[in-house]
């Protein structure tokens, strides 16, 4: 457990926090490790989802790990905010369920209550309400601090995408059940609500990224001031939809000022028709082919007792990289 004195020192030493985040940190110092874990989950999932795209969620060793990418209100920025916010919810809720935090535990609200089909609520339901509430306090704090000034559309965009990430986990919550009875019969069934895996959250948010909605500054201000999600748009905006205000830049060519690395030197798939294909990833510039020697263990067999003996296989592989 962290003492109040050490909590103040720890929270004051964390770079980049606004005053409200420092207050939350000091009030819940043991939860900050989960916040860090959640942010890391978000970064890892971002890099997994975009591993074959022209923009591959590049990070840098800096306080702002995404560099100049976050300066633009693009749909890539929208995804980063959503997946990071979702990561914090997932990690904090997980810590609650595992009993790692004193201020929260499993969601016991429905424990023991009967359900229509004869089963009962039991087990340890993930306390997603606490996870969402904490993430909302901590992750939204920088945007809300900026909102004290005249309305800034970037803050409004970021707040919406933060909430979209949190709502994604709530949307994907599922029920898990266990049967009780003689010889595995299901005379009695207890069920609880559990979070999706974070990989499932990443897949869901990637789909939202593909269908992200570009909004004008005027539309976004109307949207934020209305309790309804409808504006003059033909289709209503969903709470899990990602929104952006700027078009994505050209990620094909290196531009250090914008934090764009370009795709030159990236490995591509000559036989693919997807985003990792040499045609798409190399932006029509063509590719180089290099023969690479690949060594691996093969034809392994178990020898009594107790060894595994393998042969060494050498294959020559064609590796294609963008010009």
Nearest-10 Cα torsion for 76, 80, 81, 83: 130
**What is the percent of the chain where pLDDT is above 70?**
88
- As a whole number of angstroms, the distance between CA 279 and CA 198 comes to 31
Q: Which residues contact 117 (CB under 8 A, 6 or more apart)?
A: none
- As a whole number of angstroms, the distance between CA 246 and CA 255 comes to 17
| Range with the poorest average pLDDT among 28-37, 198-207, 234-243, 299-308 | 234-243
Cα angle for residues 180, 181, 182 (degrees, 5° grid): 145
3-state DSSP assignment of residue 302: strand
- As a whole number of angstroms, the distance between CA 38 and CA 99 comes to 17
Cα angle for residues 89, 29, 163 (degrees, 5° grid): 25
pLDDT of residue 184: 64
Residue 151 has pLDDT above 70, yes or no: no
pLDDT tens for 9-37 read 778 788 888 999 999 998 888 898 899 99
Cβ–Cβ < 8 Å for 209, 140: no
pLDDT tens for 246-282 read 999 999 999 988 889 999 999 999 999 999 999 999 9
pLDDT tens for 54-67 read 999 988 765 667 77
pLDDT tens for 30-86 read 898 899 999 999 999 999 999 999 999 988 765 667 778 888 999 999 999 999 999
pLDDT of residue 128: 93
pLDDT of residue 299: 94
Mean per-residue pLDDT of the chain: 87
Cβ–Cβ < 8 Å for 33, 41: no
User: Beta strand 287-303 with 267-268: parallel, antiparallel or unpaired?
Assistant: unpaired
Q: What is the mean pLDDT of residues 215-235?
A: 67
Q: How many CA atoms lie within 13 A of 56 on its CB side?
A: 17
Structure-block tokens of residue 240: 């899990």
CA distances (Å), origin 290, targets 35, 268, 282: 43, 12, 16
pTM: 0.86
Q: Sheet containing 120-121: which strands, arranged edge to edge?
A: 120-121, 188-194, 174-180
pLDDT tens for 113-150 read 666 666 767 778 888 999 999 999 999 999 988 866 66
Question: Domains of the chain: which residue ranges?
Answer: 4-262, 291-322
């Amino acid at each position: 457990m962290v003492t109040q004195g050490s909590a103040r020192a720890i929270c004051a030493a964390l770079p980049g926090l606004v005053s409200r985040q420092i207050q939350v940190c000091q009030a819940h110092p043991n939860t900050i490790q989960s916040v860090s874990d959640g942010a890391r989950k978000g970064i890892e999932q971002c890099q997994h989802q975009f591993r074959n795209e022209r923009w591959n969620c590049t990070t840098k060793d800096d306080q702002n790990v995404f560099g100049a990418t976050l300066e633009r209100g693009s749909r890539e920025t929208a995804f980063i905010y959503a997946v990071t916010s979702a990561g914090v919810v997932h990690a904090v809720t997980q810590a609650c369920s595992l009993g790692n935090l004193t201020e929260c535990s499993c969601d016991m609200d429905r424990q023991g209550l009967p359900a229509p089909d004869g089963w009962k609520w039991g087990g340890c339901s993930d306390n997603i309400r606490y996870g969402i509430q904490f993430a909302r306090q901590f992750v939204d704090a920088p945007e809300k601090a900026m909102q004290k000034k005249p309305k800034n559309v970037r803050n409004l965009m970021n707040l919406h995408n933060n909430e979209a990430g949190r709502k994604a986990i709530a949307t994907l919550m599922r029920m898990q059940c266990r049967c009780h009875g003689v010889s595995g019969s299901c005379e009695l069934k207890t069920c609880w609500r559990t979070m999706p895996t974070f990989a499932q959250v990443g897949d869901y948010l990637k789909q939202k990224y593909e269908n992200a909605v570009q909004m004008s500054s005027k539309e976004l201000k109307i949207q934020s001031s209305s309790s309804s999600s409808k504006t003059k748009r033909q289709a209503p905006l969903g709470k899990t939809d990602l929104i952006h205000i700027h078009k994505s830049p050209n990620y094909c060519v290196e531009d250090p000022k914008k934090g764009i690395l370009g795709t030159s030197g990236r490995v591509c798939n000559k036989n693919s028709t997807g985003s990792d294909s040499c045609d798409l990833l190399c932006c029509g510039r063509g590719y180089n082919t290099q023969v690479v020697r690949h060594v691996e263990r093969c034809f392994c067999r178990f020898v009594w007792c107790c060894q595994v003996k393998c042969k060494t296989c050498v294959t020559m592989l064609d590796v294609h990289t963008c010009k």
